[in-house]
Amino acid sequence: MALTQRVLSAGLLFLTICLLTAFPPATRAGGDEWLPINPADLALKDNPASLGSNAMILYREEAVDDLHHFESEYFRIKIFTDAGKKSADVEIPYSRGMESVTDVRARTILPSGSIVDFSGNVYDKVVVKAGGVKIYERTFSLPDVQPGCIIEYKYKVPFDPGSYFSVMKWDVQEDLYLREGKFTFVPLDDLQQTGYQYFAWRTLFLPPTARPQKQGNGSFILSVHDIPGLADEPYSVPKDMLRSRVEFYYTQQSKESPDQFWKRTGKDWGKKLDSFVNKKGALENDLAATIHPNDPPETKLREIYSRVQKIRNLSFEPTKTAQEEKREKIVVNANVQDVLKHGYGTWQDINSLYVGLARAAGFDATLVYVAPRDRTLFLPAYEDTGELQVNLVDVKLGSQDVYLDPSSPQYPYGLIPWYENAVNGVRADKNGGELVSIPPEDDTRAQILRHANFRLNPDASLSGNIIVDFAGQEGAAWRSSDRNDDDTGRRKDMHDEIKSWLPSNATFTITKFTDWDDNAKPIHIEGTVNIPSDNTRALGRIILPLSLIQSQVARSFTSAQRVNDIYFHYPYQEEDDTSIQLPTGYKVESFPKVTTIPQGAIQYSIGGSAQGDTVHLTRKLVVNGIEFPANKYPIVRAIFDAVKTGDANDMVLEATSAAQHN
């Protein structure tokens, strides 16, 4: 969708570009007519440019008309396999209140050439609720789709003439291979009504030859051919950050360098922040009840953090209707005094309140606006403030910059959301903005700690208990993703997560679940485990793997090739400590050789020892990095192959004569 604000990550693709030199006929996407059907396309059995494809886009046409306030799309897709039939389930995102989806038409061309028109229902469903705006999808499914079919559909997205989007775009790259695509853009001819002064465009991650061509009537057009689909690979950045595109935007300034732009923008933000927190009396009164004057500096910052997180956070509540807000008498806070008086605020209000209280306590504090790396990247040269979608508090503690986000209720003092570290942004300052980099965290800030005690039964089954602690980013990430679930939903998710680590025939039952609501503590879970035997006990031996925990990450790197960089949300550690009590009459015949990868960004060790009738197993996996280039994939894959091998290596238990007679 051209009106949805998203930004790309690194990655080039090879395109054969043909720039048209005349404005094309009116787009077919909004009309009743369809393009002629080429018999050769119906006869296609596979994509000759990408063999083994499930489907491919034969033709796509997109028009964005800002002058007449609509967008239109037309897709023609060839289905090759049963897996490719999922392309017949169409989802069209839009923002209700600003956009609508109209004139939906679709049809299926069977391999015989017969045509089945779509006459079913088009449904609405809510997919995102954020910032008070509901994001919807219009969904429908084309009929009678089978391998060999061609499906095509078209629709329009009219948008509110009063809504002027600072960025509109062509998403050039899709999930499927695109054989041919045509894009047009019609900008406004009168910028006075928008409040902007200039119009411009930029390409992201396209070859230098891929440039829209301006036409005599002011429109822009571009035709592209043979664009590979976005690779669907585990542990990649979100696809919308990899997608090549052309963005069109309106701006206030012309011929301003990026440095000048961000200095001016940061200065404007700094002035607005100063105005919002300029309520000295209200801040000092609240501070007097929050900190003690003789507290050490960091203790003061922690106490202010705890105080601010008690403010009701409207941004983390389900979206309310206008009637619900009216009944609750929720009003917009004009300053920090309002926030303290009302006891509620948005994430912006809460972080600004922290700045105000920290300043009142004598600290140098401000906001830093950053690009969250779960959604976008910050490219300063593009001068796009829309990339900086969240902010952090930056407070000086001695000579150290401490970055905090009290507006994220799942995160304790000193821990910021993973998508806000290792990113770039702009520090707000009334004297001029400054580009800054938020440093990455190390692997100790995210840990999964597992302690298990098992008993090996005479029938070679295992039973016992496991204790798991999700610490740091691991706990915060779960609290964040399940924040709207009740206790039953959270228990189920925790159960499913731990169960997925164990052998497929294992059963797991939670017996204790604590500290979910205390963001300063790990999420603590205890439970019982039973693992049926799959041993034959041939010749009086029992064979067990060194690790009963199966690495989820290692199972994700099975492909021989990789297109995208490998991308972890954050550095992390997994640490396992397992004891197994052996049945009477059994002893360890042999342990496999200890496996270690002692150095580098990915480290691993696993080993075992025996003392009396107890086997003690230890395992540790450390990933101390976020992004690994695709050209390093063979190395990363080899490391995780070694992890899989180490986990699966067998120890052999031998029965004594007494046990064999039993």
List, as one string, the DSSP characters of 430-457: TT--EEEEEPPP-GGGEEEEEEEEEEE-
Residues 64 and 26 in one domain: yes
Task: Specify the CATH number for the domain of residue 221.
Answer: 2.60.40.3140
Q: Could you tell me the CA-to-CA distances from 23 to 63, 213, 219 in Å, in that order?
A: 12, 10, 8
Interatomic CA distance for residues 238 and 248, integer angstroms: 22
| pLDDT tier at 23, thresholds 50, 70, 90 | very low
> Does some domain include residue 465?
yes
pLDDT for position 68: 86
pLDDT for position 28: 42
For residue 123, how far is the Cα from the chain centroid? 26
pLDDT in tens, 578-613: 999 999 888 898 888 888 999 999 999 999 999 889
Greatest mean pLDDT among 3-7, 314-318, 416-420 lies in: 416-420
Alpha helices (runs of H) in 278-328, residue ranges in sequence order: 280-288, 297-308, 322-328
Picking from 406, 438, 470, the residue at the C-terminal end of a domain is 438
pLDDT in tens, 122-137: 998 877 544 344 578 9
What is the mean pLDDT of the segment spanning 172-197? 83
Answer whether 519's CB lies under 8 Å from 404's CB: no
| pLDDT tier at 416, thresholds 50, 70, 90 | very high
Residues 336 and 474 in one domain: no
Interatomic CA distance for residues 376 and 369, integer angstroms: 13
| pLDDT tier at 193, thresholds 50, 70, 90 | low
pLDDT for position 18: 33
Of the candidates 467, 466, 496, 468, the residue with the CA atom closest to the CA atom of residue 481 = 496
> Does some domain include residue 6?
no
Residue located via tokens 């480290």: 603
Residues 458 and 595 in one domain: yes
> Does some domain include residue 635?
yes
Is residue 551 pLDDT above 60, yes or no?
yes
Residues 426 and 281 in one domain: yes
Picking from 223, 251, 279, the residue at the C-terminal end of a domain is 251
Side chain identity at residue 644, one-letter code: K
Largest interatomic CA distance in the chain? 96
Residues 315 and 414 in one domain: yes
* Domain with 410 in it: 258-438
More confidently predicted of 142 and 134: 142
pLDDT in tens, 369-403: 999 998 888 889 888 888 899 999 999 999 999 99
| pLDDT tier at 451, thresholds 50, 70, 90 | very high
> Does some domain include residue 7?
no
Q: Mean pLDDT across the chain, nearest whole number?
A: 87
Residues 447 and 430 in one domain: no
| pLDDT tier at 209, thresholds 50, 70, 90 | confident
> Does some domain include residue 54?
yes
Residues 347 and 377 in one domain: yes
For the chain, counts of helices (H) and of strands (E): 11, 35
Show the CA angle centred on residue 546, arms to residues 541 and 547, nearest 5°. 130
What is the mean pLDDT of the segment spanning 292-321? 91
Q: Which residues have CB under 8 Å from 265's CB, separation 6+?
A: 385, 426, 433
Q: Which residues have CB under 8 Å from 66's CB, separation 6+?
A: 168, 185, 186, 187, 188, 248
pLDDT for position 555: 85
Interatomic CA distance for residues 6 and 229, integer angstroms: 18
Of the candidates 302, 301, 356, 367, the residue with the CA atom closest to the CA atom of residue 333 = 356
Residues 449 and 540 in one domain: yes
Answer whether 448's CB lies under 8 Å from 468's CB: yes
Is residue 273 pLDDT above 90, yes or no?
yes
Residues 82 and 165 in one domain: yes
Count Cβ atoms below 10 Å from residue 473 Cβ, excluding itself.
Answer: 24
Interatomic CA distance for residues 381 and 573, integer angstroms: 36
Task: Specify the CATH number for the domain of residue 513.
Answer: 2.60.120.1130
Interatomic CA distance for residues 398 and 298, integer angstroms: 10
Q: How many domains does the chain have?
A: 3
Interatomic CA distance for residues 149 and 106, integer angstroms: 13
pLDDT in tens, 30-58: 456 899 999 999 999 999 999 999 999 99
- For 380, the token pair is 């300063």
pLDDT for position 167: 66
Interatomic CA distance for residues 592 and 570, integer angstroms: 32
Residues 507 and 599 in one domain: yes
Answer whether 150's CB lies under 8 Å from 41's CB: yes
> Does some domain include residue 122?
yes
Interatomic CA distance for residues 476 and 416, integer angstroms: 9
pLDDT for position 582: 93
Task: Specify the CATH number for the domain of residue 374.
Answer: 3.10.620.30
pLDDT in tens, 75-92: 999 999 999 999 999 999
What is the mean pLDDT of the segment spanning 419-427? 96
Residues 603 and 529 in one domain: yes
Side chain identity at residue 412, one-letter code: P
> Does some domain include residue 11?
no
Interatomic CA distance for residues 632 and 623, integer angstroms: 15
| pLDDT tier at 256, thresholds 50, 70, 90 | confident
pLDDT in tens, 322-337: 677 778 888 999 999 9
Residues 385 and 420 in one domain: yes
On the 0-12 / 13-18 / 19+ scale of CB atoms within 10 A, 461 is middle
| pLDDT tier at 538, thresholds 50, 70, 90 | low
Picking from 204, 235, 251, the residue at the C-terminal end of a domain is 251
Answer whether 303's CB lies under 8 Å from 337's CB: no
Interatomic CA distance for residues 574 and 619, integer angstroms: 8
**DSSP bridge partners of 8:** none
On the 0-12 / 13-18 / 19+ scale of CB atoms within 10 A, 580 is buried
> Does some domain include residue 469?
yes
| pLDDT tier at 117, thresholds 50, 70, 90 | very high
